[in-house]
Structures are given as structure tokens and as C-alpha cells.
């Protein structure tokens, strides 16, 4: 089917006003944040469907399945692994119009919302009713609920409240053939649990059209503190000990940044909850940090950190999303940001092995960090051979070695940003024989292979 014929047919299916083939719409929806920084073969979509309801999604997928047209679900377009980047010309399905709050039950601590709702808007709506929506990533001002569930993102408060997927109670999903399925919006349901099948599935198995989410009480007190440790090891051992004694800080943001001008490694630590409990947690946290040579820093340091935590999201909104595609700022990104989860007891060994690798590859590391819990270990490695292109073979070699070693040590190659295009080629190694199972699931739900083809190694 030609692009024109496709647009006319789609307009008949979902309504004229809901389909665009206007060049700015096509270009704006061809890439996400991954495409901005990396050399990717991006395909211009044939059409963008601006869905307003589950029925629009249903009709679009039914049509696409019948005609074998690829569909890329699109939320905020802020993903950094390329999940929403188009690599074959097809339909981009924008879910931003499904942004209603269907229910906000502050008493029962539950919200039911459309996937297109921006996280910031949900946080504000929940707070106005006296409840906390606890998924709080850097990208809170720009990322959608659906995109965050689809990549299973991580935010600042994950230490206490969990990653995005852990806050999902139930989902309504449109399957690739247009069938609508719904899982129960309660903490535990009968049977094997189908909600997790769609969490982290990056739009390859279906489209999330409604999410039931767990809210939390607004904390009576939030105590934030900053500590400076002489090195990464000392701070890591402090977070590990907090775990061992049963402390669950809401905020663990720990980083050693060799090029930042800061000495040692800084831990931003936060506790949420009833005032008496927070006072006790705070005191235990301080005692543990000091026992591991952590020095308490002035309060204004952590206050500034907390107030500025969404700055990169607001910048992205100003410099990218608010501008027409041709005027969007494109900075070359000659680094790789890796987010590896490992058994906590192996993190320091892995850290040491990475140090050997970067020395061998002569690749400078700009950050060694933990986010949320001791198992979540991140690093930013710079390109050892920047040559004007976005990424050299030398950077790929050092990053691949780090990911392989993480897998060999029983870890996972990505805990935060999803697999998308960036890591699709490594899924076979990550999952081992379970990759066949994932392919079987994909084949069963999406026999025509229309849902976000080429992502997650599928
Ligand atoms: C400045 C900046 C800071 C960031 N900080 C963080 C951070 O702190 N933590 C973090 O986790 N991530 C972060 N990210 C990455 C990004 O914001 C997250 O991955 C976010 O969750 C993506 O949401 P989105 O709505 O933009 O999804 P999109 O980019 O639109 O899509 C992401 C994936 O989900 C699929 N998808 C989207 N909506 C649906 C749906 N309704 N149903 C099924 N599939 C769907 C897409 O096809 C794609 O595969 C950051 C990105 C930027 C640019």
C-alpha cells in the first residue's frame, strides 16, 4: 500500500482529524531521545495516528494487522534506547491524547489513568488529593505513564517505593489484532499474573491504554542529607549495610564523578514516612555513613540537588520538544550510560573489573554510581576515540565487554532505560534459552509481527 493510500484508509478507520501525514508531525514522531544522540537508520513514518480512546487504538491495530503495517507506539518520545524510533516506514501511534485521570482514590491509594498522561501531571494531581505518585525520574516533566511502564523506568524514590513496574496494579492492553484485555487492578491476582508480561515489553506485545497504579501516603516528613565518602567502595558498603539492618531509604543517589571537581564520592540519602520513623531512620543512616567514613555535608547541598533533580527533563522540553523538528538541538553524545543490575555482593568486584577494562581501553569514566539500591550500578564511559561520529568502534568494544561481564556475573545489562534498538542485539545472550520463549510469546500475540518490529531483539 502506498503512503497516500494508507493515510486515506486510516482516516476512514479512525477519523480524518486523528491522522496526520504532515511533514513536521512525521519527523517529530520518527525518533525519540536515542535517535538524537546516535547514528541510527531512521525511517520516516507514513502516518501518525493521534489516538483519543481505546477504540482508536483498537481500530488502528486491527487495520495494521490486516494490512501488515508496522506500528510504533509513541508516548512522550523521551526514551533513550530507541524503542519509539521508527526503523521501517509505518504508523506511529501517539498515545498522548489518552491522558485522562479515570479515577484517583486517595483513600484507597489507587489511580487509574490513560497512558498518555505526563508523569508530572499525575504527581501534581495525586498530591492535590493528598497522595504520592512515587515514580519520579529525571524525565518526570516529559515522560508518559505508558512509556514509563513499557520500559519499566526507575526514579529517584525507587529505593522505598520501587521501580515503575512495581507500582503497577493492573493494565488495559490492546493486543496487535485489536482485542482488548484487562488485568485486575489489585495487588495480587489469581493465576500466573499477566500484568508483568506487558511491563517492560516496550510496545512489542501490545499497546497499554489504561493503567491502574499504586499511590502512597504523602510522607509526613522527608529527610534529605548529603554525605561525602573518600571513595566509591566506602559509600557502597554504607548503602549495603543500611540494607542489611533493614533500612529502606527512599532516595539513594550515590556517585563518584572523577571530572566534576568533587573529591571522593557523594551520597544523597533520603527517608520518607511518619515523622518518628523518619527521625529514627535518619539517625541510623547517619551512624552507618559515619562508620564508613562518610562526612555529612551542609544541608544546602542536598536541598539544591533535590530542587534541581528534573532540570534535564525541563531542558529537554525547552530545547527539543518545544521546537519544530528542524530546529531541535542535537548534541553529539560521545559517551555511553550503562545501567547494570548485579547481585549486591558482586558489585564491588564488577566495579574493579570495569576499572581494569577502562584502563585497558583507555576510556575515561565520568561517573560510577548507584541508584535506588546497591544492586543498581551505573557508569558513564566516554568514547576513547572520538572522531566526529556519534560513537566509535572503541566505545562499542568497551561497553560490550562491560555488558558481557555483567551477564557472566549473573547480572542484567539494563535496569533503567529498556532494551530498544540500543541493546536488541544482546538480548539473545541476556536471556539465553528464554529468548525462544520470548519469541514464542511474540509470535502468539503478534503473528503478523506488526508491533514495534526490530525492538528488544524481536
Ligand atoms: C533528559 C532525560 C532524562 C531521563 N531520565 C530518566 C530517568 O531518570 N529514569 C528513567 O527511567 N528514564 C529516564 N529517561 C528516559 C525516558 O524518559 C524514559 O524511558 C521514559 O519512561 C520514556 O517515556 P516516554 O513516554 O517518553 O516513552 P517513549 O519514548 O514514547 O516510548 C518508550 C517505549 O515505550 C513504548 N510505548 C510508549 N507508550 C506505550 C504504550 N502506551 N503502550 C505500549 N508501549 C508504549 C514505545 O514504543 C517505546 O518502546 C530520560 C530521558 C531523558 C531525555
Ordered domains of the chain (ranges, CATH): 3-97 (3.30.43.10), 101-217 (3.30.465.10), 221-307 (3.30.70.3450), 332-442 (3.30.70.2740)
Closest CA to 371 of 136, 168, 201, 150: 136
Q: Which of 74, 143, 330, 341 should be mutated for ligand 1, with most atoms under 8 A from CB?
A: 143
Reported as half-sphere exposure (CB side, CA atoms, 13 A), residue 308 has a value of: 7
* pLDDT-based confidence at residue 3 (cuts at 50, 70, 90): confident
Residue range 353-374: average pLDDT?
A: 95
Q: Which helix (H) or strand (E) holds 285?
A: helix 275-291
Q: Which of 34-48, 101-115, 283-297 is predicted least confidently? A: 34-48
Query: Average per-residue pLDDT in the chain?
Result: 95
Which atom of ligand 1 approaches the CA of 145 most closely?
A: 25
Q: Is the shortest distance between the CB of 153 and ligand 1 below 6 Å? A: yes
Q: Which of 56, 73, 317 should be mutated for ligand 1, with most atoms under 8 A from CB?
A: 73
Q: Is the shortest distance between the CB of 141 and ligand 1 below 6 Å? A: no
Residue range 92-104: average pLDDT?
A: 98
Beta-strand runs (E) in 274-390: 295-296, 335-341, 365-371, 373-382
Ligand 1, atom 31, lies closest to the CA of 147
Which atom of ligand 1 approaches the CA of 137 most closely?
A: 8
pLDDT in tens, 297-337: 999 999 999 999 999 999 999 999 999 888 887 666 788 99
Map residue 106 onto helix, strand or coil. Answer: coil
Q: Which helix (H) or strand (E) holds 67?
A: helix 54-67
| Ramachandran category for residue 329: left, alpha or beta (phi over 0 → left; psi -120 to 50 → alpha) | beta
* pLDDT-based confidence at residue 2 (cuts at 50, 70, 90): confident
Q: What is the pLDDT of residue 277?
A: 98
**Ligand 1 center to residue 76 CA distance, Å?**
7
Q: What is the pTM of this model?
A: 0.97
Residue range 396-424: average pLDDT?
A: 96
Residue range 179-195: average pLDDT?
A: 95
- Percent of the chain predicted with pLDDT > 70: 98
Q: Is the shortest distance between the CB of 32 and ligand 1 below 6 Å? A: yes
Which atom of ligand 1 approaches the CA of 418 most closely?
A: 19
Q: Which helix (H) or strand (E) holds 158?
A: helix 158-161
Question: Buried b vs exposed e over 266-276: b needs ≥16 C-beta within 10 Å?
Answer: bbbbbbbbeee
**Ligand 1 center to residue 145 CA distance, Å?**
8
pLDDT at 417 over 70: yes
pLDDT in tens, 223-278: 999 999 999 999 999 999 999 999 999 999 999 999 999 999 999 999 999 999 99
How many residues make up the chain in this entry?
A: 458
Ligand 1, atom 36, lies closest to the CA of 147
Q: Which of 75, 95, 173 should be mutated for ligand 1, with most atoms under 8 A from CB?
A: 75
Ligand 1, atom 4, lies closest to the CA of 139
Q: Is the shortest distance between the CB of 208 and ligand 1 below 6 Å? A: yes
Closest CA to 95 of 53, 149, 137: 53
Distance CA(246)–CA(228), nearest Å, equals 22
Backbone phi and psi for residue 241, each to the nearest 5 degrees, phi listed first = -70, -35
Q: Which of 91-95, 180-184, 385-389, 410-414 is predicted least confidently? A: 385-389
**Ligand 1 center to residue 146 CA distance, Å?**
8
Q: What is the pLDDT of residue 393?
A: 84
Q: Is the shortest distance between the CB of 123 and ligand 1 below 6 Å? A: no
Burial class (CB in 10 A: 0-12, 13-18, 19+), 39: exposed
**Ligand 1 center to residue 147 CA distance, Å?**
4
pLDDT at 96 over 90: yes
Burial class (CB in 10 A: 0-12, 13-18, 19+), 316: buried
Q: Is the shortest distance between the CB of 74 and ligand 1 below 6 Å? A: yes
Q: What is the pLDDT of residue 390?
A: 59
Q: What is the pLDDT of residue 332?
A: 67
pLDDT at 203 over 70: yes
Q: Which helix (H) or strand (E) holds 93?
A: strand 91-94
Distance CA(281)–CA(326), nearest Å, equals 50
Integer angstrom CA distances of residue 417 from 44, 83, 281, 391 = 24, 10, 30, 19
Ligand 1, atom 34, lies closest to the CA of 147
Q: Is the shortest distance between the CB of 150 and ligand 1 below 6 Å? A: yes
Distance CA(265)–CA(255), nearest Å, equals 5
Q: What is the pLDDT of residue 331?
A: 67
Q: Which of 36, 84, 209, 253 should be mutated for ligand 1, with most atoms under 8 A from CB?
A: 84
* pLDDT-based confidence at residue 202 (cuts at 50, 70, 90): very high
Q: Which of 17-21, 141-145, 191-195, 327-331 is predicted least confidently? A: 327-331
Beta-strand runs (E) in 106-250: 110-113, 131-132, 168-174, 180-182, 207-214, 216-217, 221-229
* pLDDT-based confidence at residue 116 (cuts at 50, 70, 90): very high
DSSP 396-454: HHHHHHHHHHHHHTT-BSBSSS--TTTSGGGHHHHHTTHHHHHHHHHHHH-TT--BSTT
Q: Is the shortest distance between the CB of 116 and ligand 1 below 6 Å? A: no
* pLDDT-based confidence at residue 174 (cuts at 50, 70, 90): very high
Distance CA(441)–CA(193), nearest Å, equals 15
Distance CA(182)–CA(184), nearest Å, equals 7
Backbone phi and psi for residue 139, each to the nearest 5 degrees, phi listed first = -85, 20
* pLDDT-based confidence at residue 186 (cuts at 50, 70, 90): very high
Q: Which of 136-140, 267-271, 391-395 is predicted least confidently? A: 391-395
* pLDDT-based confidence at residue 39 (cuts at 50, 70, 90): low
Higher-pLDDT residue of 208 and 38 is 208
Amino acid at each position: 500500500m502506498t503512503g497516500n493510500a494508507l493515510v486515506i484508509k486510516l482516516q476512514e478507520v479512525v477519523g480524518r482529524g486523528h491522522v496526520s501525514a504532515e511533514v513536521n508531525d512525521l519527523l517529530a514522531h520518527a525518533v525519540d531521545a536515542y535517535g538524537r544522540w546516535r547514528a541510527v537508520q531512521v525511517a520516516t513514518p507514513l502516518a501518525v495516528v493521534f489516538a483519543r480512546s481505546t477504540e482508536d487504538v483498537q481500530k488502528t491495530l486491527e487495520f495494521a494487522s490486516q494490512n501488515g503495517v508496522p506500528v510504533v507506539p509513541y508516548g512522550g518520545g523521551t526514551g533513550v534506547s530507541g524503542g519509539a524510533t521508527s526503523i521501517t516506514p509505518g504508523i506511529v501511534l501517539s498515545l498522548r491524547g489518552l491522558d485522562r485521570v479515570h479515577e484517583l482514590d486517595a483513600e484507597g491509594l489507587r489511580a487509574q489513568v490513560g497512558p498518555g498522561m505526563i508523569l508530572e501531571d499525575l504527581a501534581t494531581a495525586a498530591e492535590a488529593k493528598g497522595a504520592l505518585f512515587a515514580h519520579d525520574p529525571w524525565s518526570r516533566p516529559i515522560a508518559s505513564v505508558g512509556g514509563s511502564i513499557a520500559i519499566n523506568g526507575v526514579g529517584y524514590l525507587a529505593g522505598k517505593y520501587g521501580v515503575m513496574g512495581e507500582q503497577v496494579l493492573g493494565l488495559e492492553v490492546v493486543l496487535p489484532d485489536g482485542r482488548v484485555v484487562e488485568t485486575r487492578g489489585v495487588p495480587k491476582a489469581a493465576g500466573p499474573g499477566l500484568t508483568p508480561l506487558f511491563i517492560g515489553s516496550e510496545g512489542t506485545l501490545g499497546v497499554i491504554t489504561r493503567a491502574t497504579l499504586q499511590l502512597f501516603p504523602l510522607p509526613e516528613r522527608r529527610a534529605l542529607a548529603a554525605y561525602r565518602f573518600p571513595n566509591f567502595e566506602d559509600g557502597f558498603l554504607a548503602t549495603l549495610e543500611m540494607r542489611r539492618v533493614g533500612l529502606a531509604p527512599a532516595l539513594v543517589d550515590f556517585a563518584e564523578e572523577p571530572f566534576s571537581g568533587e573529591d571522593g564520592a557523594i551520597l544523597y540519602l533520603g527517608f520518607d514516612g511518619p515523622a518518628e520513623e523518619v527521625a529514627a531512620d535518619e539517625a541510623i543512616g547517619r551512624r552507618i555513613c559515619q562508620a564508613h567514613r562518610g562526612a555529612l555535608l551542609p544541608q544546602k547541598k542536598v536541598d539544591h540537588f533535590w530542587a534541581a533533580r528534573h532540570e534535564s527533563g525541563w531542558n529537554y522540553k525547552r530545547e527539543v520538544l518545544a521546537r519544530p523538528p528542524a530546529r531541535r538541538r542535537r548534541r553529539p553524545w560521545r559517551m555511553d550510560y550503562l545501567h547494570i543490575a548485579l547481585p549486591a555482593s558482586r558489585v564491588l568486584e564488577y566495579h574493579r573489573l570495569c576499572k581494569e577494562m577502562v584502563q585497558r581501553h583507555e576510556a575515561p569514566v565520568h561517573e560510577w554510581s548507584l541508584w535506588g539500591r546497591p544492586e543498581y550500578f551505573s557508569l558513564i564511559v566516554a568514547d576513547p576515540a572520538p572522531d566526529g561520529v556519534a560513537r566509535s568502534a572503541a566505545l562499542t568494544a568497551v561497553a560490550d565487554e562491560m555488558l558481557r561481564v555483567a551477564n557472566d556475573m549473573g547480572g542484567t545489562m539494563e535496569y533503567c532505560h529498556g532494551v530498544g534498538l540500543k541493546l536488541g542485539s544482546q538480548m539473545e545472550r541476556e536471556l539465553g534459552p528464554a529468548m525462544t520463549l520470548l519469541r514464542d510469546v511474540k509470535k502468539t500475540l503478534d503473528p503478523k509481527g506488526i508491533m514495534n518490529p526490530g525492538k528488544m531483539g524481536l
